[in-house]
Structure 1
């Protein structure tokens, strides 16, 4: 049996996969997502004698990491987890990269770091019903919480990078999880960007890994405004432009560092793309499968909530599936983009595609009225908390 839940995570991501009895949680939205939707399911899993076999934090971005901070803060010590046992965690933080030697921190450098730590994780840049508050517990990084509560982290203590090219990871019942991204280079680019941001705050130290530095790393990366593609989207609701006319590649360092996975169970394959860059996924899939395509998966989680900056025509020429998952309520950046959705269903197919959303958005509503250019059949469905069977 292969099934999954796509939780209502506002403008974020949160997925629970049940693959032949092995359970994988991929991101957890904001704190409220975890408390209101995910925690009850995990408690039920624990009550039935189960565990989380893998917990994945795809990248350090507020709409993905907030609920995981809440989870690890609340779950307690090993052997006495208050919610559910977790066999292993994947999370690329500062310690996951070899740190080049640098100058020691001065007293003023430590003051900068402590000021960031005291500030904690910032609230999402929205207000009202779309904002998900970060709880008071989240004044420490996920890295610090994982160490403090003694989780098996990146196969050890978090000092290993979880990147593409590693051998597949085997879970119980023969389930395999392969890393499709990121590359080590993308993680190094995020660290470089963070150092530049810290220099703007008058930090001149060497950023040697310690708890205060790790806290500052995650807190700055999670909500600091990052570089945007050169073209600002100005597409009207009535636009008839094709994806190749509006696509501009993502350049956000945090999105570039996103963990992307291929989960295989009982002959079925799920592709979870996090917020990864399309170009990186194309390179890795060609390395694994060659230039031919499209390669058929059983379900694909669309990258970055369906943004026009993370799904390219090139990528769609390599991948297809009867199930596509689009996670966003349309707030903040107005994802998903209609041009991405139309390109997915306009391609010829011998099967019917189902496009699952966790919220009704202007783009999903418009897609319902769309007629595929190739005549391919598709359905649009909105599912919150319910299981999607693959």
Structure 2
């Protein structure tokens, strides 16, 4: 639009000099054309910046600048009606500078000036409908296009603002969900490692205290076992801080060897734990699957030791074609899995369910009061489920 203004200004001045050589008003036309060009160039400094789009009135300097531009242009049109073509770019200047209501009034006045000047110039040729209808039509089109574009820009600005706000809210939601997920992961890790180890040590130390006078040898065995558990818990804590795999998996023997080590470690004078492997894996299990099944086995054995009052327990790892299944069975007191045991403390079963669910697997519990319990964790070996 700026380029169009200067092209029209220069062409109008050139036409005047060609058509009216040596006219008395030529110096005034040249001076006014240069003044109009200079004022237009000073527009970015003195003029308002899209005041009409914001609905705010221009300040004093901007108002004086706009009045000077229109005044100089009006004087030029009186002296040389061909400068009326510069009205079209000036329409947009008024639309950008004023509120819509006032800018429409200004455009109407400018259009009337153009029509009057052109009609006075060509009156000797007779009535020309184009002189009466073409300038108002051009002004109406220019105004409609500008107002429509401004409305579209405002809608787009609103959409972008909403989009930015939505993205911020989504990012905040994702951060909260990530925080909650990390807290859940930490709670499960702490429950399945440190909490269980501390519980075992507490039971062993209490047993040692009861046997200290009557059976010192048994008491010392309990203390040595508690010391071994403490050492193992220390290793788990260090790996937990560094976000590494469980300590039993660090040796490289795989899940089978880790479960066998776990069974040996959990075996005591009151609880016999056996491990059995059924089948061999075609490929190495993903680390997430191995860690999850090992934690589930640790949690299940902790529940058996603290709540089941069992004498034997069995860990069975079955490698099938499309899934790996871990069964943990005991001959303890059992319970009714349909009822919600509100009095049961800890987070063992919810933690197991969360681990299995994260890997796309299922956790089932079969138990009857007085007949023991069988816990089964099945995890599919589908890439989408374990990545």
Relative contact order: is structure 1 or structure 2 higher (C-alpha 8 Å, sep ≥ 6)? 1
- Which is richer in helix? 2
Structure with higher strand content? 1
* Greater radius of gyration (CA): 2
Fold match, TM over 0.5? no
